[in-house]
């Protein structure tokens, strides 16, 4: 448990460093605001429309696939720790689990979920 | 007694954070000098001997720059995003061991362990903190309310989460070989052979995934100057920009330290179990060599196109990482059942075959595309 308090102390220190850096910049930097300066940067053109507009649906697809496979990796972790105790049974069981997952992977691939135009 | 423990934690955390901060400053200098040498230039050499004061000059310049917040930005998130990016890049280093537990290092009568925290789920900690870094980037891109920043943030996020899976699987091979998630156990398990010898393809996969994870060249699409100006931190200036810059370079140092720990024997080296204070020195040498590798890659390879980057991550790295996990498991099982560690040599042999197959597949896919693209549609 002590170890986690050490990490919490480190988190506090890191946040402090970040805050000090920002405060330093706020203290010493010039503050001459103007309408042109506070426009979003668009290579010199006047910005057109909202900045956060609709985005390609493909990014959502990648996110969903990521969740699937990341959970798979999370399943792998405890399996890897006790792998020597599980022996052959563990290996075969994991192969079956991955085989089921690979069906979905192949489906996503063939459906073109991994392609970018 | 109690306040001494607190003092030790604070001092150790302070040392680690300072190491990363100073390391960040001098990594920028190191990178510019090394890149310059590779490109037959001299690089920064005006401020101080060999340009050693250049990072300080840069820091002072950034402090005196104006902090701009775009009028349409989401102010609170815009302020928090650099902090959320920077903090994980420091705290991820907490579990990295810098020296062996035995013999103990004594200072003023107190035992000083050469790590900040020794938790038994070290690898899980690394993976979870690495995931938090994504939040800072996506929030920075979104809260700027600017098209370039938004696109950069989206691209960066998609790329980081895609390669995170591969990274996780590379960690799994390490856990399989060490039989533990504790970082000290992982290092001690490499006393006879470093894991890079037993699982060379795993190490290669790890290093490539790590390049994508820290958005370094040739996977620096999010910061592609020619198309996105600066990606997710296009709207940031002054010290807030410096925090993003800091986070990127600290992540470089930290991932080099992690790669050194899990594949290149960590603090292990000659006599380290007699004089444990040699451990940090060996670590530092390994980190500097790995950092030079990253800089060399940046100087050598052009940027990868985004669709190829994602295709490479999902279609090549993921199956390859899965394959080497099972090859590692199979080899360990073989050595265990037949009772002879010589069968562990199955692992490097079979993984190299898998790696060569992957390289051939990539080559063939690229050649076919090249022929197709020359034909009129």
Each residue of B294-307: pLDDT tens digit? 889 888 888 888 88
- Provide the H-helix boundaries in chain B: 2-38, 54-63, 75-91, 122-143, 147-178, 183-188, 195-198, 200-213, 225-228, 238-263, 278-300, 306-311, 318-338, 346-374
Tell me, what's the pLDDT at B254?
Answer: 92
CA distance B251 to B91: 10
Residue A117 maps to a domain: no
Model confidence pLDDT, tens digit, residues A100-109 = 988 988 998 8
Number of domains in chain A: 1
Burial class (CB in 10 A: 0-12, 13-18, 19+), B209: buried
Find out whether B99 and B164 touch, Cβ atoms under 8 Å. no
- State the Cα angle at B210 between B206 and B211, rounded to 5°: 120
Residue A116 maps to a domain: no
Residue A19 maps to a domain: yes
Q: What is the pTM of this model?
A: 0.89
CA of B306: which chain A residue's CA is closest? A116
Residue A99 maps to a domain: yes
Chain B CB contacts of A89 below 8 Å: none
Residue A75 maps to a domain: yes
Tell me the angle at which helices B54-63 and B2-38 cross, rounded to the nearest 10 degrees.
110
Domain that holds residue A83: 2-110
The Cα of B340 is separated from the nearest Cα of chain A by a number of Å equal to 14
CA distance B207 to A113: 26
The Cα of A15 is separated from the nearest Cα of chain B by a number of Å equal to 6
A99: domain CATH number is 1.20.58.1610
Task: List the structure tokens of B36.
Answer: 């310059």
Residues lower than pLDDT 50 in chain B: 377
**Ramachandran angles phi, psi of B372, nearest 5°:** -60, -40
Residue A77 maps to a domain: yes
CA distance B333 to B326: 10
CA distance A54 to A62: 16
Task: List the structure tokens of A1.
Answer: 């448990």
The Cα of B282 is separated from the nearest Cα of chain A by a number of Å equal to 24
Residue A27 maps to a domain: yes
Model confidence pLDDT, tens digit, residues A27-86 = 887 777 777 777 777 766 777 777 677 778 888 888 888 888 888 888 888 888 888 888
Task: List the structure tokens of B323.
Answer: 């394959």
Number of domains in chain B: 1
CA distance A117 to A57: 12
CB contact under 8 A, A10 and B13: yes
Model confidence pLDDT, tens digit, residues B44-103 = 888 878 888 888 888 888 888 888 777 777 888 888 888 888 899 888 888 888 888 777
Residue A38 maps to a domain: yes
Domain that holds residue B318: 2-373
Give, as one character, the DSSP assignment of residue B265: -
CA of B89: which chain A residue's CA is closest? A14
The answer to whether A6 faces chain B, any CB pair under 8 Å, is: yes
- State the Cα angle at B108 between B104 and B112, rounded to 5°: 35
Tell me, what's the pLDDT at B228?
Answer: 67
């Amino acid at each position: 448990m002590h170890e986690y308090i050490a990490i919490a102390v480190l988190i506090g220190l890191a946040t402090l460093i970040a805050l000090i850096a920002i405060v330093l910049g706020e203290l010493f930097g010039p503050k001459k605001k103007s309408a042109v300066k506070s426009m979003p940067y668009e290579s010199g053109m006047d910005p057109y429309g909202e900045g956060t507009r609709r985005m390609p649906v493909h990014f959502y697809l990648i996110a969903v696939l990521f969740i699937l496979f990341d959970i798979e990796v999370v399943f792998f972790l405890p399996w890897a720790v006790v792998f020597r105790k599980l022996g052959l049974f563990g290996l075969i069981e994991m192969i079956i689990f991955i085989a089921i997952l690979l069906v979905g992977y192949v489906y996503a691939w063939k459906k073109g979920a991994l392609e970018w135009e | 007694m109690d306040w001494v423990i607190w003092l030790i934690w604070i001092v150790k955390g302070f040392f680690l954070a300072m190491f990363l901060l100073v390391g960040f400053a001098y990594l920028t200098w190191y990178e510019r000098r090394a890149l310059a040498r590779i490109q037959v230039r001299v690089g920064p050499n005006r401020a101080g001997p060999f340009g050693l004061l250049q990072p300080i000059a840069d820091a002072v310049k950034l402090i005196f720059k104006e902090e701009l917040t775009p009028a349409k930005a989401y102010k609170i998130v815009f302020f928090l995003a650099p902090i959320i990016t920077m903090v994980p890049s420091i705290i991820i280093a907490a579990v990295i061991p810098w020296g062996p537990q035995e013999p103990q290092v004594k200072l003023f009568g107190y035992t000083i362990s050469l790590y900040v925290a020794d938790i038994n789920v070290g690898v899980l900690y690394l993976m979870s903190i690495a995931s938090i870094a994504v939040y800072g980037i996506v929030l920075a891109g979104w809260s700027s309310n600017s098209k370039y920043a938004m696109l950069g943030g989206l691209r960066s996020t998609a790329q980081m989460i895609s390669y995170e899976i591969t990274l996780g699987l590379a960690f799994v091979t390490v856990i399989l070989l060490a039989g533990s998630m504790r970082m000290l156990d992982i290092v001690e398990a490499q006393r006879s052979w470093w894991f890079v010898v037993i699982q060379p393809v795993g190490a290669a996969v790890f290093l490539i995934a790590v390049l994508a994870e820290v958005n370094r060249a040739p996977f620096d699409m999010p910061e592609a100057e020619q198309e996105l100006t600066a990606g997710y931190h296009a709207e940031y200036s002054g010290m807030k920009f410096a925090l993003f810059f800091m986070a990127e370079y600290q992540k470089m140092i930290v991932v080099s330290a992690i790669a050194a720990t899990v594949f290149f024997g960590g603090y292990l080296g000659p006599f380290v179990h007699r004089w444990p204070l040699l451990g940090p020195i060996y670590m530092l040498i390994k980190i500097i060599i790995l950092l030079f590798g990253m800089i060399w890659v940046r100087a050598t390879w052009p940027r990868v196109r985004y669709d190829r980057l994602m295709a490479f991550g999902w279609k090549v790295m993921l199956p390859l990482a899965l394959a080497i996990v099972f090859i590692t498991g199979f080899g360990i099982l073989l050595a265990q059942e037949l009772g002879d560690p010589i069968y562990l040599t199955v692992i490097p042999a079979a993984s190299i075959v898998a790696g060569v197959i992957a390289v051939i597949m990539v080559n063939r896919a690229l050649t076919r595309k090249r022929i197709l693209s020359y034909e009129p549609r």
